[in-house]
Amino acid sequence: MRPTYLEDFYSFLRFPSVSTDDQFAEKLRECAQWLAQKLKSIGLEADIVATAGHPIVWARNKHRPGRRTVLIYGHYDVQPPDPLELWDSPPFEPVLKDGYVFARGATDNKGQILSHILGIQETIEQNRELPVNVHLVIEGEEEIGSANLGGFLNENRDALRCDVAVVSDTGMIARGLPTLTYGLRGVTALEIKVTGPKMDLHSGIYGGAVANPITALAQLLATLHDHEGRVAIAGFYDRVKPLEDWEREAWRKLPFDGDKLVLKETGVPELFGETGYNSLERVWARPTAEINGIGGGYQGKGTKTVIASHVIAKLTFRLVPEQEGDEILKLAKTHLRKNLPKGITLEITDGHSGPWYLTDPHSQIGEAAQRALHKAFNAEVALIREGGSIPIVSEFRGILGVETLLMGLALPDCRAHSPNENFPLENLEGGIRLNKAILQELGH
Residues 131-160 that bind a second copy (CB under 8 A): 144-145
Using DSSP, state whether 122 is helix, strand or coil: helix
Q: Which of 26, 85, 128, 272 binds a second copy (CB under 8 A)?
A: 272
Distances (CA, A) of 339 to 120, 196, 218, 247, 344: 55, 16, 11, 37, 12
Q: Is 209 one of the binding residues for a second copy (CB under 8 A)?
A: yes
Residues 122/114, Cβ–Cβ less than 8 Å:
no
Q: Which of 305, 334, 364, 378 binds a second copy (CB under 8 A)?
A: 305
Residues 186/320, Cβ–Cβ less than 8 Å:
yes
Looking only at Cα atoms, what is the longest distance across the chain?
Answer: 80
- Spatial neighbors of 152 by CB under 8 A, at least 6 apart, are 49, 51, 56, 58, 137, 139
CB of 275 to a second copy, least distance (A): 11
Closest CA to 119 of 427, 398, 423, 444: 427
Interface map 37-76 toward a second copy (x if CB under 8 A): ----------------------------------------
CB of 228 to a second copy, least distance (A): 10
Give kind and range of the element (H or E) at residue 201.
Answer: strand 201-202
Between 131 and 273, name the residue whose CB sits nearer to a second copy.
Answer: 273
Q: Is 282 one of the binding residues for a second copy (CB under 8 A)?
A: yes
Beta bridge partners of 139: 75
Interface map 330-349 toward a second copy (x if CB under 8 A): ------------xxxx----
CB of 387 to a second copy, least distance (A): 5
Choose the stretch contacting a second copy; rule: CB under 8 A; options: 151-159, 222-230, 240-248, 374-382: 222-230
Interface map 3-22 toward a second copy (x if CB under 8 A): -----------------xxx
Q: Is 232 one of the binding residues for a second copy (CB under 8 A)?
A: no
Closest CA to 177 of 264, 253, 96, 70: 253
Under rule CB under 8 A, how many of the chain's residues touch a second copy?
Answer: 101
User: Packing angle between helix 364-377 and helix 425-443, nearest 10 degrees?
Assistant: 140
Residues 86/169, Cβ–Cβ less than 8 Å:
no
Q: Is 27 one of the binding residues for a second copy (CB under 8 A)?
A: no
Q: Which of residues 171-190 bind a second copy (CB under 8 A)?
A: 171, 185, 187, 189
Which amino acid is residue 383, in one-letter code? L
CB of 213 to a second copy, least distance (A): 9
Q: Which of residues 354-393 bind a second copy (CB under 8 A)?
A: 386-389
Q: Is 192 one of the binding residues for a second copy (CB under 8 A)?
A: no
Between 21 and 244, name the residue whose CB sits nearer to a second copy.
Answer: 21
Between 126 and 299, name the residue whose CB sits nearer to a second copy.
Answer: 299
Which amino acid is residue 419, in one-letter code? P
Residues 182/408, Cβ–Cβ less than 8 Å:
no
